[in-house]
Amino acid sequence: MPDTSPRHAPGAAAIPRRSVLAAAAAGGAALGASWLLTGCSGAASASPADALPSGAPAGRPDRGGTLRIARPPASDAETLDPASSLSAYEYLGALYNRLVRIGPDGTLVPDLAESWEPDKEARTWTFRLRRGVTFHDGRAFTSADAAYTLRHILDPKTGSPQAGVLAPLVDPERLRTPDPHTLVVPLKSPNAEFPSLLTNYNCYVVPDGSAASIGRTGIGTGPFKLVSFTAAGPGRIAACEDHWAGRPVLDAIDFYSVANMQARSNALLAGQVDLLSQTNLDFATARVVANSDRATLARVRNAQWYVLPMLTTEKPFTDVRVRQAMKLAYDPEHVLKVALQGAGTAGWDNPVPPGTPGHLAAHPAHDPEKARHLLKRAGYERLAVDLYTSAYDPIFTPMALAYQESARRAGIRIRVRTAAADSYYTQIWMKKPLMATYWYTGRPVDQLLNQVFRGGSSYNETAWADKDFDAALDRARRETDDGRRRELYQEAQRAVVERGGAITPMFADRLVGISRKVRGYAEHGFEFDYLGIGLKGA
């Protein structure tokens, strides 16, 4: 590695310093640079969150123009296959459609399916598909493509992350296509929330038989068609003139892959790109962007939730009273203020984002005295635990320290330990009894609760196994009445809040850097409005 051996340095004692700096710089570059930029912008105000604008510029875009998006590459082996774990996320919503998607209010809205209904037991779902839709290569979209998409996701060779969610429900052999505009999905077990599981970004519809080529061709039914694509490199998509949902405002979108976050924000500040996708700006950079002549800030509300999972299989968290005490002991509003500078919403240990249909708003109040009392009864009067964090995400450590400070009032001693960022998710996550992590929101409530909290699920990071909770989820899946089903999901949330192992202090807004020319930017969860986004003065 780049070492300047002192043996060869004639009288230049300063030389070895560089090798130290070179190593330190790799980690410190972003920090140092953002500090520097903040210093120059002269905008380091005392109450930072207030200084950050809360919305993108309003107004209508002009028709036409090319939007330039900088994105972090998923991998050097990126693909346009939506089902793949290495899909180039930003392209998907522009190139493809799903059967159903999630609307701005959190409810399901039609995409390629115009309507859908279950049988009485919610054991078989029938989707009525939109007519007159064509793929970019001119072929008509039919139920065969919709059925193939599901089979492609479930194919073990695809290795789709969504297969784990759908495989227990859908038998690929039993899908039926009675006519070109009807898809019938018989389920292995009743599920009244099944359509919501198809809103996932792995579920974009691809043409029948396209598994071998879809990763390169990107042929879908979406508002844009592929012009060029390079894995972890540049690419371009162009508007479809006669798209079934109307012509997009833009003429084209250029995608550029920029791995380093500081480089991405520099590109925006220098006017080389118009939007930074999948990028949560740190607060210092966000302020620089907000004060720039070319760029400004937009927000994706509650884009991720932060969590301190307690492993319920490890002492002392095997005791439900200790888990309750850990939650009552701290003030989520305090953690939100300190770690996120207020840019988010307090979570109150419920991972279902506020505003989602069926969100349970009620929660126990912050009560350090009660926490102290519970610990005493459980025999952990002087509880001291390690809380692991890392530089993997800039919020982890501030969150851990804010929790530490807040919980101290209930007599809980937290030792914050920093682990290496690059092995954090293999060595610490689901291995240490208490650590800091986060999830992206955007999962439907059924998928969220089943994936992250059901006993035995591979993403169940608290290793929690609660029969009543699992039973509530099962009952909800069988319940076809929307109102009663919501109540059951609320019952499940209550179980998570009161008995589960996840301390969920807050939901964080994503601070998105966009050019001042961008109009009509709308993004929530995993939904991005590619039809309406455009430029002013393009």
Partner 1 sequence: MLSFLLRRVVAALGTLVLSSVLVFLAVQSLPGDVATQVLGKDATPSAVAALRDKLHLDRPAWERYAEWVNGALHGDFGTSLVSGKPVGGEVGQYLGNSALIALVTVLFAVTGSLVLGVLAGLYRDRWPDHLISTVSLIGMSVPEFVVATVLVLLFSIAVPVLPAVVLYGPEATVGQLLPAVWLPAASLAIVMAAYIVRMARTSVIDVMAGEYVTTARLKGLSTWRVVTRHALPSALLPTLHVIALNVAWLVGGVAVVENVFNYPGIGKLMLSSVQNRDLPVIQAIALISAVVYVCCNLAADLGAMALNPKLRTRGGRTR
Task: Provide the minimum distance between the beta carbon of 253 and partner 1 in the complex, in angstroms, as a whole number.
Answer: 13
What are the residues binding partner 1 (CB under 8 A)? 1-5, 8-12, 14-15, 18-19, 21-22, 24-26, 28-29, 32-33, 36-37, 40, 70, 75-77, 85, 161, 230-234, 256-260, 262-264, 266-267, 269-273, 292, 420, 422-423, 425-427, 429, 458
Task: Provide the minimum distance between the beta carbon of 231 and partner 1 in the complex, in angstroms, as a whole number.
Answer: 7
Kindly give, in sequence order, each residue whose CB lies less than 8 Å from that of residue 376, ignoring residues fewer than 6 positions away: none
Q: Which residue from 530, 533, 532, 535 is spatially nearest to 93, judged by alpha carbons?
A: 530
The 10 Å CB-count burial string (b at 16+, else e) for 374-407 is bbeebebeebebebbbbebbbbbbbbbbbbbebb
Helical H segments across 113-228, by residue range: 143-154, 163-166, 194-197, 214-217
Helix (H) or strand (E) segment spanning residue 29? helix 15-41
4 Ramachandran zone, left/alpha/beta (phi>0; psi -120 to 50): beta
Q: Which residue from 368, 373, 365 is spatially nearest to 406, judged by alpha carbons?
A: 368
Widest CA span of the chain, in angstroms?
86
Nearer to partner 1, 305 or 469 (CB): 305
Task: Provide the minimum distance between the beta carbon of 3 and partner 1 in the complex, in angstroms, as a whole number.
Answer: 8
Answer whether 81's CB lies under 8 Å from 95's CB: no
Q: Which residue from 392, 343, 328, 338 is spatially nearest to 507, judged by alpha carbons?
A: 343
Q: What share of the chain is helix, strand, coil (3-state, %, to 5)?
A: 30, 20, 45
Nearer to partner 1, 297 or 335 (CB): 297
Alpha-carbon distance of 208 to 145, in angstroms, equals 4
Token pair 């290496």: residue: 420
